[in-house]
Amino acid sequence: MLDGGATNDRYGPRAFSSTRPVERARHAGPASGYRATGDRAGSPPGQHRGGQHRRPRGKSPDPAKGKRGPFWRELLIIVVAAAALTLVVKSFVVQVYKIPSVSMDNTLAVGERVLVNRLVYHFRPIARGDVIVFSGQDSWGPDAPPGPSDPVLGFFDDVLSAVGLHSTQTYYIKRVIGLPGDRVACCTHGKVTVNGVPLEETSYLYPGDAPSSFSFSVVVAPGHLWVMGDHRSDSGDSRYHTDDPGEGAIPIDEVVGRAFMIIWPPSQIGDLPIPSTFQQPALHGGTAAAALATVAGFPVAGTAGIAAVIGAPVLLWRRRRRSRRR
């Protein structure tokens, strides 16, 4: 904000030092085309009176005064812009999810809230070790019921679903263990293996849990992911859905995004990095491990940058309006 001075007079101090020039003009008769009454020569009486056009002494015109809109209008613009920005971010960038069960203990506890990056997989592929949110549609179920038969209601239902304000689908949160074409098996020397490479899961597995209470060996179908909870003894994950479509694996198309940060409660705020065991060179073909380590930090920085790009036009618009008013 700019602070105005105490006064802002256009006239010098000598302009108001004496009334004599006014008296002289009053007795001297017309001068420079003006009558003593202040009317321009040749004009009908009553027009162009100097008194009607004079500003009060000691005051200057305020170009901004009278041009500002009502406060409620500016407030409404701010609220609408904020709501639109929130919907855009929620629909395409970041969304908050609440943890509903104990299947991801101790990584994620019931009631905690996580930020899910909906945009990251447009820039890099899903990686082993990612914690993802996905829909049970066409895999674990239950499938969403058919939408309303009325086309108008169906349109609004689709719009609300697209912006994340309404959904009839069931969502799950698990850790990615196997990618398309991977052979995931258990247990070799008491460990889960991916393509024969054993995973060291002590950093995220629930204390006291075995990698699996029973043996299995599957090849992940194309376009699918093998996912498991960190609380293996209390997680209904891919191991228990082998009779469903995908033989337990979930479709990549149903993945909402990657959970990358815990935001609630405040005592648990922190990121959700990819465990180091998934960066073994044998899993990624050598150089892929380095590439994975590079992109692992993208979701946080990328989301913040994109949100800033979306919000920049609104801030610039507000700044331009303020500069015009001054």
Helix, strand, or coil here: 323?
helix
- The first and second tokens of residue 104, run together, are 């991801």
| Structure confidence at residue 142 (pLDDT) | 74
- The first and second tokens of residue 167, run together, are 């959904």
What is the distance of C-alpha 273 from the center of its chain? 20
Q: Are 229 and 270 in contact (CB under 8 A)?
A: no
| Structure confidence at residue 143 (pLDDT) | 64
Catalytic annotation, pick one of 18, 32, 98, 103: 103
Spans of all domains in the chain: 77-310
DSSP string, 108-152: S-TT-EEEEESSGGGTS---TT-EEEEE-TTTTSPPPPPPPSSHH
| Structure confidence at residue 320 (pLDDT) | 54
233 counts as catalytic: no
Which one of 2.40.10.340, 3.40.47.10, 2.130.10.10, 2.10.109.10 gives the CATH number of domain 77-310? 2.10.109.10
Strand order in the sheet with 183-188: 197-198, 191-194, 183-188, 216-219
Catalytic annotation, pick one of 174, 212, 235, 238: 174
Per residue in 208-247, is it b (16+ CB within 10 Å) or e — as a string? ebebbeeeeebebbeebbbbbbbbbeebebbbebeebebb
| Structure confidence at residue 74 (pLDDT) | 76
212 counts as catalytic: no
Instruction: pLDDT tens for the chain, 326 residues: list them.
Output: 444 433 334 444 444 344 444 444 444 445 444 444 444 445 455 554 444 555 555 555 555 554 566 777 777 777 677 666 655 555 557 888 999 999 999 999 999 999 999 999 999 999 999 999 999 888 897 765 565 555 655 555 555 555 444 455 689 999 999 999 999 999 999 999 999 999 999 999 999 999 999 999 999 999 999 999 999 999 999 999 999 988 999 999 999 999 999 999 999 999 999 999 999 999 976 433 334 433 443 443 344 444 444 444 444 454 555 555 55
